[in-house]
Amino acid sequence: MTYLNVEDVLDNSLLDEECKGSSTVEEMVRKLCLAFLIGKDRTFEDPGVITHKTNFVSFWNRSKLNPLVFEPKPLTSKRLECTGTPDIVAIDKHGKVFLIQIKIKDWVTPKDWYRAAAWKALWNDNYPKKQATGVVIVSLGLEPNDYKIERRDNTSREQVIFEQCLLLKQYIATKPTK
């Protein structure tokens, strides 16, 4: 059976009023942030990317979180028939798991919360004994020390909307063509 990816479920054909998918710059910033976490710090020439990474380092050092998974791997759920990969999986000093999404824009869209809720559902399906407490979206700005943190522990509303999008996508994929 082929499972849909979270990104495919939330593509612009269903949520076209939302922002488009990740840019090349956003992917580069994510890779630099992960490289920092695993101790393989990389440099990059673009001043905007450098500022984003510097802001992530400031956030990380103040967050008092530790990476739980150094290189996130795709999570798959038979229940949802879906797969997806969180940007960062972290744990706090009390042993609570948080899924972190890194953004390079100054705002968080509903689509970002749907994605984060999907990650949380995927994580909880894969690790029922180590459930995720919440999700955190970090928006990295272009100015030094310019970042915003938004956290939600209860993502049930967003998860319902994601699952409705998923069901619609699955229906469209199986609907016979005329």
In CATH, what number is assigned to the domain containing residue 119? 3.40.1350.10
Q: What residues have CB less than 8 Å from 132, skipping those under 6 apart? A: 97, 98, 99, 119, 120, 123, 124
Banded model confidence at residue 13, pLDDT cuts 50, 70, 90: very low
- Domain residues for the domain of 169 are 4-10+20-174
**Residue 148 belongs to a domain:** yes
For residue 26, tell me if it sits in a domain: yes
> What tens digit of pLDDT does each residue of 129-164 get?
999 999 999 998 888 788 889 999 998 999 898 888
The answer to the question of residue 15 being in a domain is no
Is 108 exposed, middle or buried (CB count within 10 Å of its CB: 0-12, 13-18, 19+)?
Answer: middle
Domain count, the chain: 1
pTM higher than 0.85: no
Average pLDDT over residues 67-90: 86
Decide if pLDDT at 20 tops 60: no
Percent above pLDDT 90 for the chain: 29
